C-alpha cells in the first residue's frame, strides 16, 4: 500500500476546501437546524463530478474506487460539512447498481444519479429486527402474473422522502424457511413515490440536514425491472454494501474529529489566561495530542480498508476496526476540543458542542460498536460467538 496520494487523489481529498468557499460549515448548520436538505451544495458536488466517483465512466461517473470516495468524504468532513446522503446514495446505491444492475437499470439510474438529478436512499433497518438483518420480515411474494407484491416496514431510513428512488432489502423467503440464514434475500430498486408506500418522519434530537423516516409498504407492485441482481441472491449485494458503509462513515468521523481539533488548536493559541495562551498548558495539550494521534490512526485503518476493498480482498476486519476506531476517536477528539473551549464551547457562536451529538451518533449507527466488537472478537480473533 502506497501512503502517498497521487495528484488526482490529492485533488479529491482537498475538494472540501474549495467547496467550503461557497458552502461552509455555517451553511451546513443552517440546513441541519432547519431540517432542510442542502440542495445547492449537493448540486454543486454533482456538477463538479463527485457523486459518481465509484460509477463507471460510460454511465457518467469517474470510474474510481472506494479509496477515492473515502478521501472525498474525509475531505468534506475536515471542513465540518458531512453529507450522509452521499453515503446511502452514491456509495450504497449507485455503486451496487453499477456492479449488479442490468443495462437498462444502469442507463436509467446512473447518469441521472451522477448528475444529481435523482437521489437514492437505502432501506435496510427494521423496527423488530434491528441489527439482526437476518430476521428481516419485509417480503416480496409472487402474485401469479410474473410480478411481486412488497409488504413490510423499515425504520431510520435517511433522506427517504427527499429521495427519488430507494434500494430496499427484502426477503422472498422467510428466515424461518431457509436452509442458510443468508438465503432468500432480494434487493429491490423502488420509486420512492410508488403507490402503497407511506412515510412518517422520525423526530431525532441530532441536528442533521437529512431527515429520518419510517417506511410502510402495502402491496407495492414489483416487476422484474425492479429486481437488482437475482431473486433470492440479494445477500451478496447487501454484504458488498455493508463494508463500504463502515468505511465511509469512518472517513466522515475522522474528518469531523480533525475539524473540531483544528478549531480547538486555533482557540488554544489565541486564548490567554494566566498571562499565556491556554495551549501552553499540558492539561489541554495532552488530550488534544492524544486525540490527534487517535484520529490519524483511525484514518490509516480506514484507508487500508478502502484499499483492500478496491482490490476485492477481504476487508471485513479492517472495515469494522476502522468504524470502531474512527467513531471512538472522533468522540474523544470533540470532547477534548470542547474542554479546551471551556464555557465558550457550549455557545452557538463557537459551535463546538454542536459537533458532539453527530460524532456520538456514529458509535451507535449504522451498527453499534458493541456489535462491531462482537465481529472482531469472533471473526478476527477466533473467540466463541457471544450472542
Cell of 248: 465511509
Band of the pLDDT at 304, cuts 50, 70, 90? very high
Residue 190, SS3 per DSSP: strand
Residue 367, SS3 per DSSP: coil
**Where do the domains of the chain lie, and which CATH numbers do they carry?**
7-118 (1.10.540.10), 121-235 (2.40.110.10), 236-380 (1.20.140.10)
Band of the pLDDT at 131, cuts 50, 70, 90? confident
Band of the pLDDT at 239, cuts 50, 70, 90? confident
The alpha carbon of 173 is separated from its chain's Cα centroid by a whole number of angstroms, namely: 28
- Within a 13 Å sphere around the CA of 294, how many CA atoms are in the beta-carbon half? 23
- Residue 130: pLDDT above 80? no
- Residue 285: pLDDT above 80? yes
Question: Which pLDDT belongs to residue 242?
Answer: 87
Residue reference for cell 440464514: 181
Residue 347, SS3 per DSSP: coil
Amino acid at each position: 500500500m502506497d501512503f502517498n496520494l497521487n495528484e488526482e487523489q490529492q485533488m479529491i481529498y482537498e475538494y472540501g476546501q474549495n467547496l467550503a468557499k461557497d458552502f461552509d460549515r455555517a451553511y451546513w448548520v443552517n440546513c441541519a437546524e432547519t431540517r432542510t436538505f442542502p440542495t445547492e451544495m449537493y448540486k454543486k458536488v454533482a456538477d463538479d463530478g463527485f457523486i459518481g466517483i465509484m460509477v463507471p465512466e460510460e454511465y457518467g461517473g469517474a470510474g474510481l474506487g472506494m479509496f477515492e470516495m473515502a478521501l472525498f468524504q474525509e475531505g468534506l468532513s475536515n471542513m465540518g460539512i458531512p453529507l450522509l446522503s452521499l453515503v446511502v446514495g452514491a456509495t450504497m446505491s449507485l455503486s451496487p447498481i453499477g456492479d449488479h444492475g442490468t443495462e437498462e437499470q444502469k442507463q436509467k439510474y446512473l447518469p441521472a444519479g451522477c448528475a444529481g438529478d435523482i437521489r437514492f436512499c437505502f432501506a435496510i433497518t427494521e423496527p423488530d429486527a434491528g441489527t439482526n438483518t437476518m430476521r428481516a420480515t419485509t417480503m416480496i411474494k409472487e402474485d401469479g402474473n410474473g410480478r411481486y407484491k412488497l409488504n413490510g416496514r423499515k425504520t431510520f431510513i435517511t433522506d427517504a422522502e427527499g429521495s427519488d428512488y430507494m434500494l430496499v432489502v427484502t426477503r422472498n423467503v422467510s428466515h424461518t424457511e431457509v436452509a442458510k440464514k443468508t438465503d432468500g434475500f432480494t434487493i429491490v430498486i423502488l420509486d420512492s413515490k410508488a403507490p402503497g408506500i407511506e412515510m412518517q418522519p422520525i423526530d431525532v434530537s441530532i441536528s442533521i440536514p437529512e431527515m429520518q423516516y419510517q417506511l410502510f409498504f402495502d402491496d407495492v407492485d414489483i416487476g422484474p425491472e425492479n429486481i437488482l441482481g437475482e431473486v433470492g441472491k440479494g445477500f451478496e449485494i447487501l454484504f458488498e454494501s455493508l463494508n463500504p458503509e463502515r468505511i465511509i462513515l469512518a472517513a466522515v468521523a475522522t474528518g469531523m474529529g480533525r475539524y473540531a481539533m483544528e478549531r480547538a488548536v486555533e482557540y488554544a493559541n489565541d486564548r490567554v489566561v494566566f498571562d499565556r495562551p491556554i495551549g501552553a498548558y499540558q492539561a489541554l495539550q495532552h488530550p488534544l495530542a492524544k486525540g490527534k494521534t487517535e484520529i490519524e490512526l483511525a484514518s490509516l485503518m480506514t484507508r487500508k480498508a478502502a484499499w483492500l476493498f478496491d482490490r476485492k480482498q477481504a476487508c471485513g476486519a479492517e472495515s469494522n476496526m476502522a468504524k470502531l476506531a474512527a467513531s471512538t476517536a472522533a468522540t474523544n477528539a470533540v470532547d477534548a476540543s470542547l474542554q479546551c473551549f471551556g464555557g465558550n464551547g457550549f455557545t452557538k457562536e463557537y459551535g463546538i458542542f454542536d459537533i458532539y451529538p453527530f460524532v456520538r451518533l456514529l458509535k451507535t449507527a449504522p451498527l453499534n460498536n458493541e456489535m462491531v466488537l462482537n465481529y472482531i472478537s469472533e471473526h478476527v480473533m477466533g473467540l466463541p460467538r457471544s450472542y
